[in-house]
Amino acid sequence: MKVGFKGFKEQVLTFLAAEPVTAGSPVTVADSGLISNSKADEEFAGIATQGGDKFAPVMISGYTKLSYTAGTPKCGWQYLTADGSGGVKIATSGKQARLVVEIDTDQKTIGVIL
């Protein structure tokens, strides 16, 4: 039997885009009501569920799959920061840990509860 995490406490907010936002990428609150793609080493507010240059729906809680480029992921609570290229890096410290529930080292992806 397979397990599933999609749909768990999923919450999406719509922000104005301060710049063209990339779907599936970590995003940061840039200013009052504005969101932008996260820069390298930034802690992120959520994940853009769609791309756009005017509006950006952002998942702030729920399950998502993210690519990672640095660090060694493990299941459990992990600090994550943006890698500046649409993925994340495993960090050693931060303000908010995220729950990693799946790891695919071949695809370099992690399943995360935000």
The type of residue at 3 is V
Residue 80 falls within a domain, yes or no? yes
Residue range of the domain that includes 42: 11-60
Share of the chain above pLDDT 90, in %: 88
Judgement on whether residues 56 and 41 belong to the same structural domain of the protein:
yes
Q: Smallest Cα–Cα separation from 88: which of 68, 60, 64? A: 68
What pTM, to 2 d.p., does this model score?
0.91
Task: Report the pLDDT value the prediction gives residue 3, as an integer from 0 to 100.
Answer: 81
Residue 5 falls within a domain, yes or no? no
6: pLDDT confidence band, cut at 50, 70 and 90? confident
Distance CA 104, CA 55 (A): 31
Number of structural domains in the chain: 2
**Contact assessment for residue 37 and residue 50, using Cβ atoms and an 8 Å cutoff:** no
Average pLDDT, the chain: 94
**Contact assessment for residue 17 and residue 9, using Cβ atoms and an 8 Å cutoff:** no
pLDDT digits (tens, 9 = 90+) for 31-67: 999 999 999 999 999 999 999 999 999 999 999 999 9
Backbone angles phi, psi at 70, to 5 degrees: -150, 150
Residue 3 falls within a domain, yes or no? no
Task: Report the pLDDT value the prediction gives residue 4, as an integer from 0 to 100.
Answer: 86
